[in-house]
Amino acid sequence: MHTDSANVSRPTFYTVREAARILRVGPSTLYRAIREDAFPAVRLRTRYVIPAVALEKLLAEATERGTLVDPARMAADVRLRRLRRVPDDVLAEIVAAEGLAGRQLNEVELGSGCPVTDRELAAQLCAGCPVQDECLELDLRWMADQTLGVFAGLTEADRRTAYPLWLTERRADACPSRRAQAGANAGDAR
């Protein structure tokens, strides 16, 4: 890949495949996050590349927080952020009209392998539903950390884990100075 003239051993950019390998995710997951503007990338003619400094910064921030860089979650966060100003009743109408709610387990066409975990079962129950983001947004707003069952292809445990992060984002959105302060704190910590 491209290199600095000053430092030939350190790449300036990673290919998407190289970055995906570093993050231990599939290239398609990373491509999706890039296309949704959730992951830093630069377009060079017909292909994307990942600036090494951007990837290193994400890894350093994740290490500091004790988390992982998860492109799928980053993309989901961006999609949910786009729904933040949609009123509850509009979201509820969309989910009721277009969601696959009400499907029973025995109606679900399970994949070739039987789901072996709750997470896999939840993903299969909602597979193909076109309103998973709207469903998740509504569930987080209405049920918060008391949510039960399967919604948006996620188990209740995963949605309860996601809730505090979602809430922090929303509070920062509602109070720009809080977002600025959070950014400043992150900058100080680096």
For ligand SF4, the binding residues (CB under 6 A) are 95, 99-101, 126, 129, 131-132, 135, 151-153
CB of 154 to ligand SF4, least distance (A): 9
CA–CA gap between residue 137 and residue 147 (Å, rounded): 12
Instruction: Please state the closest distance from residue 115 (CB atom) to ligand SF4, in A.
Output: 15
Using the minimum distance from each CB to ligand SF4, give the nearer residue, 21 or 119.
Answer: 119
Q: Find residue 50's DSSP bridge partners.
A: 14
Q: Which is nearer to ligand SF4, 37 or 98 (CB)?
A: 98
CA angle centred on 174, ends 65 and 67, rounded to 5°:
10
Bridge partner list, 13: 51
Closer residue to ligand SF4, CB minimum distance, 132 or 155? 132
List the end-to-end C-alpha distance of the chain, in Å, as a whole number: 27
150's torsion region: left (phi>0), alpha (psi -120 to 50) or beta?
beta
Q: Which residue is nearest to ligand SF4 (CB)?
A: 99
Minimum gap (Å) between residue 74 Cβ and ligand SF4: 20
